[in-house]
Structure formats: structure tokens, C-alpha cells
Structure 1
Amino acid sequence: MPAESDLHVVLGAGGAIGGSVVRELASRGHRVRAVNRSGRMLAPHGVEVHRGDITTVEGATAACAGAEVVYHCAAPAYDRWVEEFPHMTDTVRQGAAAAGAKLVFADNLYMYGPIDGPLTEDLPYAARNPKGRVRAEMAEALLAAHRSGELRVALGRASDYYGPGGVNTIVGATVFGAALGRKTARWVGPLDQPHTLSYLSDIAKGLVTLGGDARADGQAWHLPTAPAVTGREFLDLVLAELGRHGKTAALGRPMQRLIGLFNPTVRALGETWYQRDRPFVSDTSKFTTTFGPFAATPHTDAIAATLDWYRANPTP
């Protein structure tokens, strides 16, 4: 049955992206249901917190019931994408369809594979590594469901993210936590290659824009963000915000291989090293041309807010 109320359901609400989407929706006055496995989280006043297992059709259907828009921000552990992500996304699709809801998927840029030049939405899905193929297959399946009329779908694609609450990211504890602790802040990959970094608040605003505009339906969109920076520039901005000198370094391919012998998450980064050893720049002009100007958060402001969060939530 079609949804009959302004209810926006966020799946994976306990994660960094999902939590940001919850806050953005609440700030706009929407009715929000925040779904995670535990049923516990700090949420804005008025937000319904729902305990749900979206890896089953029954759980996903219950979580999505009554929704007008469903935001799929949930993900398995990074090293379990291949085994678990497609099934999870399939059950979410069925749950959203049962509710008659529009589905907005928080996607990334893995499906394109190695590219020389800016990343645009019209590129073929050329990735040959397992994580890239999984991302491509999920995107293709969701867009096929849209074309078939099963449900409305929009895909919002972001690059590596950072921001308050962003810990499971290459610029989380190894950059912000380390810099605050006066340890060496490490950038994954060479320091001299430009790289698009997405700020969590901007990702949330972009996804909510897609959820509320029919022009987004049936397409993938690169979400707006501040201009790409090199690793060296980003680390320098972090230290400048701290107002002191500090140690910085690159985590190169040999060290990634060595650490990967003991850490499956770091090991998995080797599959997508082409995102590190050359320019990795997302072109977001399709979004701004369609939906209008987007005031992406400058890296200086985003870094300041992220450092504040890490001060209040120190990492071990």
C-alpha cells in the first residue's frame, strides 16, 4: 500500500551517514524513524527509534512500514561487503516496495574502477575488484527495480567521508584522533594526489534533496562536496586548525600490505589502491545543474567541527 504520511525512515541510523541523515531530516521538520539493530541511539527530539533486523524481508518490511521515503544507509562491515551487502540491499528493496516508498541509497564511487580524469555519472561500471563489482551489481539491481515500476529509486554517491561521528573511514582515527593525541597523522596513499573527500553533513543534505525531488528518480547522482585536496593539503589543514606543528606521513602500498596481513579492513584497501595513487576527483555538476546551487561546507569548517567531535569522543 502507498505511504500516506510524511514519514522518512533511515536504515543504518546508528552509523555515521545514517545518523547525519536523521539529524538533517529532523532539522527540516519531517517525521523520522531511525532504525538500527539495537534500538538505542541518541536522536533528536521527536525521532522514533526502531529496533530492526533489515537483513530479513520481514524485518525490513516492518522497519519501512508507512514510509514515504526510505534512506538505505546501512552497510555490513567493510570486509564483509561481498558476502552480505547484496542480500541486505535486496531485502531493503523489498521492504521499501511493500511500503510504497521511494528508496534513496547511500552509494559510493567504487563501481567505476580505475579512471583517468574526473568521475562522472555516465561512466561505465568497469570495476573488476570484488567490492567494486558488488557496488555495481547493487546499483544495477536497484535501477532495474525502478525501471520495472517496482518502486522509485535514487542513488546518491559520495567519496571517502569524514565529520562528527565518522570513525570507520580512512580519515577518522588515523588522522583526527592521531593529530589530537600528538601522534603521527597518516594519510592512506601518496600525499600529492588530489582526492575528493565528502563531509557527512553535506552527504546528508544531498541525500535528503534526492529523497524530496522526483527529478532524482531512476538515476545516480554524485553528491556535492568541497573541492578535492591532496593528502598533504588536508593534513596541513588539520594541523593548522590545531594551531601547532605535528607529524604527518603517508601510509604507502608496502605498509598497507604489511598491516593487511593482520587487519582485514586494511587488507581490503589494496583492492582499490587506484583510488589513492592517482587523482580521484568526483564531478558533482550534474547535481548542482539539476537541483541548483549547493553550499558545500569548506574543509576548514568541516575539519574544525570534526576535531571538536573527536575532542568530546576520544579514541583509544
Structure 2
Amino acid sequence: MAPFSYSNAVIFGAGQVGMTLMEQLAVEGVQVTLVNRSGKVKEALPADVTVVAGDLTDPATVARLARSADVVFETAQPEYTEWPERWPPLVRSIIDGMAQTNARLVFVDNLYMYGPTHGRPIREDMPYAADGPKGKTRAAIATMLLDAHAAGKVKVVIGRASDFFGPRATDTAIFGDRFFEAVFAGKPVDTFGDVNLPHTYTYVPDFARALITLSRHEEAYGRAWHVPNTTVSTAEMMRLFGEAAGTPVKSRKVNRLMLSMVGLFVPIVREMKEMLYEFEEAYVVDDSDFRASFGAELTPLPEAAAATVAWFRQHLATPMKQAA
């Protein structure tokens, strides 16, 4: 089925995915409205992009913001440590608000709901088997969204990524601020599990491009899709970053006990304990459904690594924190 076009998009959230979506949609001539809590962002925006404040926990506000949109991209989320308590009510509010409009909903997701797969490639038809709070939260939200689609409340499509890297991906537990601060200072980076195991990583600009592709295909709605990625290993990613940075990346392995100690001071590392299985077994995403249906447009990894290093050099020299 041929893709359809649209002229107005609303993006809930102005973090790493939201801002990258905004850039790509604006280049394509789509009128974009960014929504976050403050109504401000730290980056200069294209002329046709506006940013407004909005409380997404209020369905009436959601309805007002989404009413003029053809498509809404939902990238907003609570703090990592507050997912179980705050995220399901937020998604319920978004569903209830958007049910009052004709806008379609594209939900940004990850793979936590599946839990450990013991090295088997992760497919969309696998059961939600996570037993930790973050994985269970993701499972509950995905079920809520697809139930709303099945009930005819709102058209929903879910795009699922693996572990992020790329410009603006500052708060990731692996290739974020702490990683590049260490690389640029010539210090060892912290690694988890076995860095030589196959591991799928998602480049944020590629993820945004895949989400836009899903948004434009009628047949995509009503299910979750694993977006295209390149599977390598954590060791290979570190080599590519070192090559781009002009310095070898030194590393030190962090075991579970050390992770607990580091987590006393770095909350996102503390939260990593639930997801440590990702690095103790092969973590490979099966994206064959997406590729067969829509093709795949992926940035070559050396190019993605170079762009990531260049962005973090500037970011860490003149720190720029994303607005929520």
C-alpha cells in the first residue's frame, strides 16, 4: 500500500527522540508542534516549528493539543525511576484525550517487555515475559495502547528500538555522557557483561526515520514493529567510537556488586541492574517484518559513530540539557 502524506504533526516530549523527529519532519515540510512541561527547549528551532507547554496527564489538554494534528508522536515519559507509578496513568490520559480527535498515535517503545530471551533473536510475536518493574510497565502500556486501537478509540502504531546511541542520547546507560566524558579524558569506560556478544544498538536518527515511515503507512497501524538496526557487539561499537575520536577506548568490566556501588551515586546505573541480562547473553533484534514491509534505511555505523562523537564533543564542551 502506498504511503500517505500529512502536513501537521504534534510531538509529545522534547528529548532525544522528540527533537530528532522534529528535525526530520521539519525538513520534509511538515508543520511541527513540540509539547513539553515547560514550553521551552535549549536548541534553536526551525521557523515552522513551535513549542508549547502542556500537561499530558490531563486528557482535555491532550485533546486540545492533538485536535489539529494528523499524527501525534508520543515520546514523553516519566523519570526512569518512576515508570511503574507514573507512566501507565500518563498513557491512559493520552489515549482518553486522543480518542476525542481524529489524530493517529505513533508510540515510541523499546524491548524491555520481552525480558531475557536466552540469546534467541527478539521477535514481535514473542510473549511479554519480563518479571522486573520496568519490563512489566512497558508490557502493560503496550497492551493498553493496542487494546485502545482494537476498540476503535485511536489508531495506534508502536515502533520499538533497542539500546540507543547517537546525538542527544545523553542519558543512556551505555553510550551517553559518562561514556564520552571518559573517552575524551582518556579514562576507562564502564562495561557490563560480555562486550563481545552480539548486541543490537539503535541509532537515534535511524529510529526517528523508521517512526516516520510507520506513521505514513495505513497497514502499519494496530501492531508493534521492531525498527531496522545493525547488530554488532559492544566491543565493535567502542572500537568505532575510538576510531572516530582518534583514541582507543579503554574499558573496565563492572560486575553486579560494582554496579550496585556505582548506582549509589548514578541513578540510571542503579536502574541498569534489572536490564543487565541484555549484556550477559546475545541481544539480537529480529527486524525482518519491518524490512520486508517497508525496507530499511540505515546510516553506516562508521558514519553514525563519527556523528555521535562530534555531537558529544560539542555537547560536553558547552553542556546542553534537553528540556523535558
TM-score, structure 1 normalization: 0.93
Structure 2 equivalent of residue 28 of structure 1: 28
Matched, 1:303 2:308: no
Residues 38-187 of structure 1: pairs in structure 2 closer than 5 A: 38-41=38-41, 42=43, 43-116=45-118, 117-170=120-173, 171-187=175-191
Q: Deviations over 1:250-290 (max 9, x none)?
A: 33322112222344322221112211110111111100101
Q: Residues of 2 paired with 1:273 and 1:246: CA distance?
A: 21
Contact 2:158 2:224 in 1 (8 A): yes
**More deviation, 249-258/276-285:** 249-258
Give 1:49 shift: 1.2
Q: Residues of 2 paired with 1:61 and 1:181: CA distance?
A: 48
Runs of 4+ in 1 over 6 A off after TM superposition: none
**Counterpart residue identity of residue 144, structure 1:** D
Give 1:246 shift: 4.1
Give 1:181 shift: 2.5
Structure 1 equivalent of residue 296 of structure 2: 294
Structure 2 equivalent of residue 15 of structure 1: 15
Q: Residues of 2 paired with 1:10 and 1:187: CA distance?
A: 33
Contact 1:235 1:248 in 2 (8 A): no
Asked which structure has the greater RCO (Cα within 8 Å, sep 6+), the reply is 2
Per the alignment, in what secondary structure is the counterpart of residue 161 of structure 1? strand
Per the alignment, in what secondary structure is the counterpart of residue 192 of structure 1? coil
Q: Residues of 2 paired with 1:20 and 1:246: CA distance?
A: 27
| Cα separation, partners in 2 of 1:261 and 1:177, compared to 1, 3 Å | closer
RMSD: 1.5
Give 1:25 shift: 1.0
Give 1:6 shift: 2.6
Q: Residues of 1 paired with 2:306 and 2:86: CA distance?
A: 35
**More deviation, 70-79/22-31:** 22-31
Q: Residues of 2 paired with 1:175 and 1:84: CA distance?
A: 29
Identity %: 38
Per the alignment, in what secondary structure is the counterpart of residue 316 of structure 2? coil
**Counterpart residue identity of residue 162, structure 2:** S
Say how many residue pairs are matched: 309
**Counterpart residue identity of residue 97, structure 1:** A
Structure 2 equivalent of residue 223 of structure 1: 227
Contact 1:190 1:251 in 2 (8 A): no
Give 1:239 shift: 0.9
Contact 1:185 1:235 in 2 (8 A): no
Per the alignment, in what secondary structure is the counterpart of residue 134 of structure 2? helix
**Counterpart residue identity of residue 28, structure 1:** E
Give unmatched runs, 5+ long, in structure 2: 1-5, 320-324
Per the alignment, in what secondary structure is the counterpart of residue 60 of structure 2? helix
Structure 2 equivalent of residue 232 of structure 1: 235
Q: Residues of 1 paired with 2:185 and 2:265: CA distance?
A: 24
Give 1:20 shift: 0.8
Contact 1:256 1:270 in 2 (8 A): yes
Matched, 1:282 2:285: yes
Structure 1 equivalent of residue 203 of structure 2: 199
Contact 2:192 2:276 in 1 (8 A): no
| Cα separation, partners in 2 of 1:215 and 1:105, compared to 1, 3 Å | same
Give unmatched runs, 5+ long, in structure 1: none
Q: Residues of 2 paired with 1:196 and 1:125: CA distance?
A: 19
Give 1:95 shift: 2.2
Q: Residues of 1 paired with 2:136 and 2:9: CA distance?
A: 29
Contact 2:7 2:29 in 1 (8 A): no
Contact 2:95 2:153 in 1 (8 A): no
Q: Residues of 2 paired with 1:139 and 1:244: CA distance?
A: 41
**Counterpart residue identity of residue 54, structure 1:** L
Give 1:48 shift: 1.7
**More deviation, 173-182/150-159:** 173-182
Give 1:249 shift: 2.3
Q: 1:248 aligns with which of 245, 248, 251?
A: 251
Give 1:214 shift: 0.5
Structure 2 equivalent of residue 6 of structure 1: 7
**Counterpart residue identity of residue 228, structure 2:** P
